[in-house]
């Protein structure tokens, strides 16, 4: 049974998805100083993408959001969209592990946090960049890659 989503569902999705993504970015960026971080930001990102997938379908997701220009990537674990999600997972794992290994290269314990102050800046006096942000970015990519893989596999069945 092929059903078209209602106007209300499409409109709510268009309004809610950007808010979910902005919240995910905010949680990702505050993760090294406050509760939040890569895991919850990744989950929220996948919720937004899954909502678009459910309401508009995989074709819309591929052509509009992934900019495939009408090229549909079939469900194929070896060459399709699932492989791309697996690549996101692998990249995130490499980033997260790499952030810990960098600390070891400087003679510190694995995953020791370092802080870099970038100054002077025009609007802000300085910007604090912590190495925990790099780890959170890796966790974010791992969560997004893993959950999108699960979503794609389950959605295909």
More confident residue, 145 or 34: 145
Residue 86 lies in a domain: yes
Q: Give the structural domain span for 118.
A: 7-156
Q: Has residue 93 been placed in a domain?
A: yes
Quick check: is 109 in a domain?
Answer: yes
Contacts of 132 (CB under 8 A, 6+ apart): 31, 32, 99, 113
Q: How many domains does the chain have?
A: 1
Per-residue pLDDT tens over the stretch 26-59: 999 887 667 678 999 999 999 999 999 889 887 7
| 116: in domain | yes
More reliable by pLDDT, 143 or 56:
143
Answer yes or no: is 2 within a domain. Answer: no
Asked if residue 78 is part of any domain, the answer here is: yes
Question: What is the pLDDT, as a whole number, of residue 74?
Answer: 54
Q: Is a pLDDT exceeding 80 seen at residue 138?
A: yes
Q: Look up residue 124 and give its two tokens.
A: 């802000």
Q: In the prediction, which pLDDT does 77 show? A: 56
- Judge whether 1 lies within some domain: no
61-99, pLDDT tens digit by residue? 777 766 666 555 555 555 567 788 889 999 999 999 998
7-30 and 38-56 helices cross at what angle (nearest 10)?
170
Instruction: Give tens-digit pLDDT for 99-137.
Output: 889 888 888 888 888 888 888 888 878 888 888 888 999
Amino acid 89: pLDDT: 95
Residue 87 · residue 81 · CB < 8 Å:
no
Asked if residue 55 belongs to a domain, the reply is yes
């Amino acid at each position: 049974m092929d059903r078209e989503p209602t106007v209300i569902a499409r409109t709510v999705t268009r309004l809610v998805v950007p808010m979910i993504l902005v919240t995910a970015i905010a949680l990702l960026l505050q993760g090294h100083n406050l509760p939040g971080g890569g895991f919850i930001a990744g989950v929220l990102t996948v919720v937004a993408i899954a909502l678009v997938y459910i309401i508009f379908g995989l074709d819309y997701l591929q052509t509009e959001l992934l900019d495939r220009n009408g090229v549909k990537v079939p469900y194929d674990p070896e060459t399709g969209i699932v492989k791309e999600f697996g690549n996101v997972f692998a990249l995130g794992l490499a980033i997260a592990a790499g952030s810990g290994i960098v600390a070891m290269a400087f003679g510190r314990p694995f995953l020791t946090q370092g802080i870099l102050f970038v100054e002077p800046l025009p609007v802000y006096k300085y910007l604090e960049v912590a190495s925990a942000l790099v780890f959170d970015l890796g966790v974010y990519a791992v969560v997004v890659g893993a959950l999108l893989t699960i979503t794609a596999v389950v959605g295909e069945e």
